[in-house]
Amino acid sequence: MDAPITKLGVEQIAERITDAVMEHRLPPGIKLVEEKLASAFGVSRTKIRQALTLLAKEGLVTLHPNRGAFVTRPSAAEARDLFATRRLVEPEIVRNVIKRACPEDLARLSAHLEEEAEARQQGDRRRIIRLSGQFHMLLARISGNGFIEKLMAELCPLTCLIIALYDEPQTPACPEDEHREIVEAIAQRDEARAISLMLHHLQHIEQALHLDSPKTRDIHWEALYG
Amino acid sequence: MDAPITKLGVEQIAERITDAVMEHRLPPGIKLVEEKLASAFGVSRTKIRQALTLLAKEGLVTLHPNRGAFVTRPSAAEARDLFATRRLVEPEIVRNVIKRACPEDLARLSAHLEEEAEARQQGDRRRIIRLSGQFHMLLARISGNGFIEKLMAELCPLTCLIIALYDEPQTPACPEDEHREIVEAIAQRDEARAISLMLHHLQHIEQALHLDSPKTRDIHWEALYG
DNA sequence: GATCCATATATTGCATACAATTTAAATGTT
DNA sequence: AACATTTAAATTGTATGCAATATATGGATC
């Protein structure tokens, strides 16, 4: 992907691949050939292999024995389970954020909203999608529960994947400024409102998906290298 | 550990180690030397390494760069976060189990209770601890949400680890027959009662811990090979 | 032209070898 | 004896090589 200043660790490789998936640069179903990744990242296959097993554990990648690693294509059922989980967990995140957020945390949230606004103005759809996911990951981090943070760090990239599969091609990534409203409610310590906004936000994302129509969306190979 | 009939896969190795941790055969803080594990499982270090990175991602193992892999010693704060997460997730599991459990599932739960009773009668404390954890993992599996199942598959072994660190040495693993009561309430489709029992159950486990006294419990090396 | 089979290529799975680093032991000094 | 310093052993981190498997290619047959 680009020239390695210093040798990348397994985690960093996994993170790079995750970012690529979140930005829809790696579409669901695409095969990840170890050798290609190895030369791309300037490391040996051994490390790539470790990164891929990590990503497989996260569910972002699916391993087919003797056949290789593929970016996961979540089923509609899995998509529903994912949103059910997020509806369960994210209200708790909001509660804890309201309890524990210090001024610096709120500043970080504001800064993130700015980034999102910027990406939206520039029409940088890929960055919008990634940042939308990372907003929820940031909230999870601020909430202070490492287990929930880790869970969200898995669910958000998967959500991006689901959007890639089931969303209408040119839908605006995250409906408008719902993130900003959530942050405002948090800043005002209005728990009920913040939770309600969060749940509606999740509902909007899920409703925008076509989880019923099993459109076998294929990979646009030509667009990949266009 | 024992003779490999067929070559073990990475996740099987991770599973074996997880079981050993759940049964308190591998105490928190102990070092896992790659070479030792490799010869024990009859595979090369490459595979062990992959298994360890997996376990590290789960949090069951902590990787110190250039120094090796150690069974995690969860802090009191992490223990509290873990139980907070379980209190959030397990009621949802109970709800879904009541919704979706078919007769075979209930039979499986009964069978598990029998196993637990047997282990308790035999005074096999290690098996009791492992089975107690696996009861919750079984519920999670029956609940049908893969993400929650995976989460519980991480939290339960960690709970065993926390018990090893913070529980009084000879406390009865899981307080009596609370599992049986939960299963009964589930079988009767009594959601409110089942959730209440589950929450009390978790509370009992957590209350039995001494999360305040930071007793630096060391490893009893002599007992390990006694 | 489609289907089957054989061969060749590409890719994965795994163990091993070696360099880098840490830990333990040995030696010397105060 | 306690402490610092050097030397040796053990262990991790990484790349590479080779066998096993899967995929692709190229006829041969119908």
What is the three-state SS of chain B? Answer: CCCCCCCCCHHHHHHHHHHHHHCCCCCCCCEECHHHHHHHHCCCHHHHHHHHHHHHHHCCEEEECCCEEEECCCCHHHHHHHHHHHHHHHHHHHHHHHHHCCHHHHHHHHHHHHHHHHHHHCCCHHHHHHHHHHHHHHHHHHHCCHHHHHHHHHHHHHHHHHHHHHECCCCCCCCCCHHHHHHHHHHCCCHHHHHHHHHHHHHHHHHCECCCCCCCCCCCHHHHCC
Dihedral (CA of A188, A191, A193, A199) sign: positive
A:55-114 Cβ neighbours of strand C under 7 Å: 63, 65-69
Whether residue B80 is found in the same domain as residue B68: no
B62 within a domain of the structure (yes/no): yes
Distances (CA, A) of A50 to A28, B13, B57, B81, B118: 20, 15, 11, 28, 40
Q: Which two tokens stand for residue A217?
A: 């969306």
Q: What is the CATH number of the domain that holds B126?
A: 1.20.120.530
C-alpha–C-alpha distance, residues A147 and A145, integer Å: 6
- B54 interaction partners in chain A (CB closer than 8 Å): 53-54, 57
Å between CA of A44 and C1' of C5: 37
Question: Could you say which of A85, A145, A146 has the minimum Cβ distance to residue B147?
Answer: A85
User: Does A106 map to a domain?
Assistant: yes
pLDDT tens, N- to C-terminus, chain B (226 residues):
444 467 899 999 999 999 999 999 999 999 999 999 999 999 999 999 999 999 999 999 999 999 999 999 999 999 999 999 999 999 999 999 999 999 999 999 999 999 999 999 998 988 999 999 999 999 999 999 999 999 999 999 999 999 999 987 655 555 668 999 999 999 999 999 999 999 999 999 999 898 886 545 554 444 433 2
The reply to whether A218 falls in a domain is: no
Task: For residue A149, count other CB atoms closer than 10 A to its CB.
Answer: 18
Residue B3, exposed/middle/buried by CB under 10 A (0-12, 13-18, 19+)? exposed
Same domain, B63 and B88: no
In a domain, B175, yes or no: yes
For residue B213, being part of any structural domain is answered with: no
| pLDDT the model gives residue A175 | 61
Q: Which residues of B touch A148 (CB under 8 A)?
A: 81, 85
DSSP codes joined into one string, A43-81: S-HHHHHHHHHHHHHHTSEEEETTTEEEE----HHHHHH
Q: How far apart are CA B82 and CA B91, in angstroms?
A: 15
Our CA angle for B134, B77, A93, nearest 5°, is 80
Task: Spell out the per-residue pLDDT of chain A, length 226, in tens.
Answer: 444 457 899 999 999 999 999 999 999 999 999 999 999 999 999 999 999 999 999 999 999 999 999 999 999 999 999 999 999 999 999 999 999 999 999 999 999 999 999 999 998 988 999 999 999 999 999 999 999 999 999 999 999 999 999 987 655 555 668 999 999 999 999 999 999 999 999 999 999 898 876 545 554 444 433 3
Give residue B40's domain range: 10-73
Contacts of A10 in chain B (CB under 8 A): 53
Q: Do A34 and A135 belong together in one domain?
A: no
Same domain for A171 and A68, yes or no, is no
For residue A147, which residues of chain B lie inside 8 Å, CB to CB? 59, 81-82, 85, 151, 154-155
Nearest to A9 by CA among A69, A54, A61, A72: A54
Looking across all nucleic acid strands, the nucleotide with the smallest C1' to CA distance from residue A31 is C11
* Backbone CA torsion sign across A79, A164, A156, A137: negative
Chain A residues contacting B via beta carbons under 8 Å: 10, 46, 49-50, 53-54, 57-59, 78, 81-82, 84-85, 88-89, 92, 144-148, 150-151, 154-155
Q: B58 and B85: one domain? A: no
Contact B59 A150 (CB under 8 A): yes
Q: Which of B54, B78, B89 sits opposite A146 (nearest CB)?
A: B78
| Residue A18 and residue A90 in one domain | no
Q: A185 in a domain, yes or no?
A: yes
Q: Minimal CA–CA distance to B73: which of B33, B26, B37? A: B26
**Contact call for A155 and B147, based on CB within 8 A:** yes
Mutate to test the interface with B, among A143, A147, A154, A156 (most CBs of B within 10 A): A147
Q: How far apart are CA B58 and CA B48, in angstroms?
A: 15
Concatenated DSSP letters for A81-146?
Answer: HHHHHHHHHHHHHHHHHHHH--HHHHHHHHHHHHHHHHHHHTT-HHHHHHHHHHHHHHHHHHHT-H
* Dihedral, CA of residue B33, residue B34, residue B36 and residue B37, to nearest 10: 110
Q: What is the pLDDT of residue B172?
A: 54
Residue ending a domain, among A36, A52, A73, is A73
Give me the pLDDT at residue B174, please.
57
> Considering the entire predicted model, what is its pTM?
0.90
State the residue for tokens 């719902």: A178
Of A40, A56, A73, which closes a domain? A73
From the list B58, B85, B144, the residue facing A148 with the nearest CB is: B85
pLDDT at A172: 54
Within a domain: A15: yes
Task: Please state, in angstroms and as integers, the Cα–Cα distance from residue A171 to each residue in A26, A78, A113, A117, B158, following that order.
Answer: 19, 21, 20, 16, 41
pLDDT for the residue numbered B38: 97
Other CB atoms within 10 A of residue A108 CB: 15
Provide the pLDDT for residue A118: 93
Give dist(CA A14, CA A223) in Å, integer: 24
Do both B30 and B97 map to the same domain? Answer: no
Claim to verify: residue A16 and residue A42 sit in the same structural domain:
yes
B44 touches strand C (CB under 7 A): yes
Q: Which residues of B touch A64 (CB under 8 A)?
A: none
Verify that B117 and B69 share a domain, yes or no: no
Answer yes or no: do A203 and A116 share one domain.
Answer: yes
Structural domain count of chain A: 2
Per DSSP bridges, beta strands A31-32 and B61-64 are unpaired
Among chain B residues, the shortest Cα distance to A153 is held by B57
Same domain, B102 and B186: yes
User: How buried is residue A103: exposed, middle or buried, by Cβ count under 10 Å (0-12/13-18/19+)?
Assistant: exposed
Residues B178, B192: Cα–Cα separation, whole Å: 15
| CATH code for position A15 | 1.10.10.10
Query: A82 and A60 share a domain?
Result: no
